[in-house]
Structure 1
Amino acid sequence: MDHRPQAWGRPRDDVYGAYDASYMSTNNGPTQHTQQPIVTGTSVVAIKFKDGVVIAADNLASYGSLARFTDVKRLRKFAGTSVVGFGGDVSDMQYLDRHLTELSIDEAYKSDPGHSLNARNLHKYLSKLMYHRRSKFDPLWNSLLVAGLDDDQKPFLAATDLLGTTFTSPSLATGFGSVLAQPIMRRYAPDEESAAQLTQEKAVEVIKECMKVLFYRDARSMDKYSIAVITKDGVDLKEDEKLENQSWAFADRIKGYGTQTV
């Protein structure tokens, strides 16, 4: 072996000849897939109300523990009637966003005027896509919430994950939101009957309360977020909302810890 520090770990060229690295070529190596998410978004939260659905997600994309990108929009409108909320890997989210753009263009050209995929159709399509990628051992590392209206113009909310598992509920959340936000939303919409009595104003208030709790309790969240309200009148999407009067400014008033003793 070559004992010079700059060449540690490889045989000496003057004794054994130059090292052949051709087997490392991408043409000769095995097909590799993403093994884990790298840049990720955290929770997406949503709740039904009597006329539609409210859905929200913050605008942070984290690189591990680093709050790397602070302007990543994780809610996407589809056909002006539905909203998809993305949790998980941002690069896979961008892939799905491009895929949905192509799908919406195809639908606009091929479908009859006034007819397009509603939220229920879109959720079924995405769940099949996620399951297909999972079956190829090349999953899309995302958790998705699909919000909108179904065939009967009733509020629709459902989820799918990287395994293609699907479920629906009056309120849904991904990431830490499933632990921190779901108990709050279930106070107001424990079942479909309760959700049908919920007003739009109250639903928005509940979602904002959830975003506040997540900001304080989830280390991978921030106070700037996107929120969408889906009704029969369309999608009202706001992408640069900020939690009012929410900051860590109160921390300098906490005494008795560390060097602050008075």
Structure 2
Amino acid sequence: MLNNYNSMAQPLWQNGPTPGAFYNFTGGQQQTQKLPKELTAAGPFGTKRSTSSITTGSSVLGIRYDGGVMIAADTLVSYGSLARYQNILRVFPINNNIILGGGGDFADIQSIKRTIDQKMIEDQCYADGITMKPKALSSWLTRVLYNRRSRMNPLYIDVVVGGIEQDGTPYLANVDLRGRAYEDYVVATGFARHLALPLVRERKPKDREFTAEEASELIRKCMEVLYYRDTRNMAQYTVGVCNASGTTIDGPCKVSENWTFAATIKGY
């Protein structure tokens, strides 16, 4: 009987909340212990930043033709060597004049996309009838990415910007994580720089631009080569098209796979 009395005298719930109070999940009624300042303060060289990409998208290919631009990217985002996310769009419409393709760390691609979207909203709030053009966006991105690089906290991205300028001429450029940019009739990121650029350049007519049909066929061929040769690519891809009619995202498209040649590969 005495033992039962002693047990009833003890609180039924040690460290439990008092009636009407919030429960402290980290330690009941005890205050959360704070880490020593020396463990949370910046080191002698500043706050440590991420030094590598985690979830990454591979190649992006852009081709300029006589009436606009096309940008293609597969829908795979890899976690290291794991094909983790297989239905992710990496080609985005920015407005009726601009499309953007992103390679590199996908979290950083999402971050810069949100920043661009906010800038588009700010431009709309002026209500002055002026919309951003692709060359202006490309120049703005060089400043943003160079600023992040100079603060030793870069965005690990490699983007392709394309669209139609004020006078109706197509524009295509590449901007990398250090803010470097160049303009050409074909630009690429990742392994497409090594595998796709030569295929496009050897088919470029000397006296004219590509037609829309030629550009579309080159996109299809290059994405097929990238699927076979780049281990971070997959068979599904999307194509962004920007011309005088506006911007559209076509797809997902599928590479026509043919692995019959695999039996002839020896020595591996």
Residue of structure 1 equivalent to 2:228: 216
1:103 maps to amino acid: K
Residue of structure 1 equivalent to 2:178: 163
* Structure 2: runs of 5+ lacking an equivalent: 1-33
SS of match in other structure, 2:232: coil
CA pair 24-177 structure 1, distance change in 2 beyond 3 A: farther
CA pair 185-111 structure 1, distance change in 2 beyond 3 A: farther
1-side partners of 2:90 and 2:167: how far apart? Answer: 27
Residue of structure 2 equivalent to 1:175: 190
Please give the residue correspondences for 1:102-181 in structure 2 after superposition, counting only pairs within 5 Å. 102-113=118-129, 115-181=130-196
Q: Looking at CA atoms only, which structure, 1 or 2, has the larger radius of gyration?
A: 2
Displacement of 1:31 in angstroms is 1.4
1-side partners of 2:216 and 2:245: how far apart? Answer: 17
Displacement of 1:130 in angstroms is 0.6
Displacement of 1:123 in angstroms is 0.7
2-side partners of 1:179 and 1:24: how far apart? Answer: 47
2:263 maps to amino acid: I
Residue of structure 1 equivalent to 2:36: 22
Residue of structure 2 equivalent to 1:95: 111
Contact in 1 for aligned 2:227/2:233 (Cα 8 Å): yes
Residue of structure 1 equivalent to 2:208: 194
Residue of structure 2 equivalent to 1:3: none
Residue of structure 1 equivalent to 2:250: 238
Q: CA RMSD in A?
A: 2.2
1:212 maps to amino acid: E
Deviation string 1:130-173 (CA, Å, 9 cap, x unpaired) is 11111111111011110101232101001110111111111111
CA pair 172-256 structure 1, distance change in 2 beyond 3 A: closer
Deviation string 1:167-226 (CA, Å, 9 cap, x unpaired) is 1111111110000000111123376x532xx21011111011000000000000001111
Contact in 1 for aligned 2:93/2:240 (Cα 8 Å): no
Contact in 1 for aligned 2:95/2:247 (Cα 8 Å): no
Counting matched residue pairs gives 232
Deviation string 1:214-262 (CA, Å, 9 cap, x unpaired) is 000000000111101110110121242212x3254x37x827969xxxx
Please give the residue correspondences for 1:5-20 in structure 2 after superposition, counting only pairs within 5 Å. none
SS of match in other structure, 1:137: coil
Residue of structure 2 equivalent to 1:254: 263
Poorly superposed stretches of 4+, deviation over 4 Å: 27-30, 255-258
Deviation string 1:56-80 (CA, Å, 9 cap, x unpaired) is 0001011111111111111111112
2-side partners of 1:213 and 1:164: how far apart? Answer: 29
Displacement of 1:23 in angstroms is 5.6
1:134 maps to amino acid: R
Contact in 2 for aligned 1:171/1:189 (Cα 8 Å): no
2-side partners of 1:63 and 1:23: how far apart? Answer: 34
2-side partners of 1:228 and 1:81: how far apart? Answer: 12
* Structure 1: runs of 5+ lacking an equivalent: 1-19
TM-score in terms of structure 2 length: 0.80
CA pair 247-73 structure 1, distance change in 2 beyond 3 A: farther
